[in-house]
Amino acid sequence: MLSLLCVLSALTATGHALTCKVCMVSYSTYCNGDTSMVCPKGQVCVSAYTLTTMGHSKVSEEFSRGCAPKDQCNTPGSISIPGGKIKRNTSCCFTDNCYPPTPTLPEDNFEPNGVTCATCASSYSDWCYNDKTMRCTGDENMCILESSHQYEPIDQMLALRGCATRSICDIGTQEISYGHINMTMKIKCSSASSPLYSHLVLSFTFTVAGILAVLSSWG
C-alpha cells in the first residue's frame, strides 16, 4: 500500500494525468467504456457499483466507470430506509485505461446498533420531516438526510431520511452531469447518539442511480 502511494504521488508530482474509461449502465455489473477521459490531476480510475432493493426485490442496479479522487477507492457503504436499502462499493486501478474490477457489496447486517434515526421520504420536495423513526443496524450508525434535485432530463426532487454508514457520509462530490443527466445531490449526516455531532454536516453527491430508482419506486 505504501509503495502504491509512493507511485501515485510520484505520478502526481511529475504531472502525469491518468486516462480512464468512462461508462454507465443500468441493470448490469459491467460496461466496456468505449470512451475515455483524461482525469483531473491526482485522480484515479474508479468503478462504482450500486444496488437498490425494496422489500426483497431489486429496484435498480447501476455500474459506472470514471475518474475519482483516490480517497474514494474501496469505500463500501449503505443507506437504509424502512423496507429499502441502497448499497454501493467502489474499486480502483492506476494505469491508463485500466479496468477496475466490479466491486463486491457489503453483506446485510440486521443486528441493531443502538442508533435511532428519523425516517421519511418525499418525491415532491428536497426536504422531508415527520415523527417516524427507525432503528439502525450493522455499521449504519449515522442518520442521513439525502436531498436531490435533478434538472435534466426532467425536473424532479427527492428527499429521504434514514440510517447510513459513515463511509457514505464521508464520500464527497456535489454535482452530477453525465450524458443527458444533470443533478445535484446533497447528503447531510449526523450521529443521533451523540449530541456533539448534531451539527456535523457533510454534503456530497451520491450516485444518480440508486436515487432515481428510489424516486421511481415511490411514484
Residues that contact ligand NAG, how many (by CB under 6 A): 12
DSSP state of 72: G
> Residues 33, 66, 84, 103: which binds ligand NAG (CB under 6 A)?
103
Cβ proximity of 139 and 113 under 8 Å? yes
* Residues 32-61, mask of contacts with ligand NAG (x by CB under 6 A): ------------------------------
- List beta partners, residue 157: 149
The set of residues, in sequence order, having a beta carbon less than 8 Å from that of 208 and lying 6+ positions away, is: 24, 62, 150, 176, 178, 181, 183, 185
Q: How many residues does the chain have?
A: 219
Cβ proximity of 206 and 188 under 8 Å? no
Residue at shortest CB range from ligand NAG: 91
How far apart are alpha carbons 181 and 178 in whole angstroms? 5
C-alpha cell at 133: 423513526
> Residues 82, 83, 101, 114: which binds ligand NAG (CB under 6 A)?
101
DSSP state of 151: E
> Residues 12, 36, 74, 116: which binds ligand NAG (CB under 6 A)?
74
Q: Which is nearer to ligand NAG, 91 or 119 (CB)?
A: 91
CB of 188 to ligand NAG, least distance (A): 21
Interface region with ligand NAG, contact rule CB under 6 A, candidates 98-106, 163-171, 185-193, 207-215:
98-106
> Residues 33, 66, 76, 84: which binds ligand NAG (CB under 6 A)?
76
101: left (phi over 0), alpha (psi -120 to 50) or beta: beta
> Residues 127, 151, 153, 198: which binds ligand NAG (CB under 6 A)?
151
> Residues 64, 89, 137, 148: which binds ligand NAG (CB under 6 A)?
89
Give me the residues that bind ligand NAG (CB under 6 A), please.
74, 76, 89, 91, 101, 103-106, 151, 177, 182
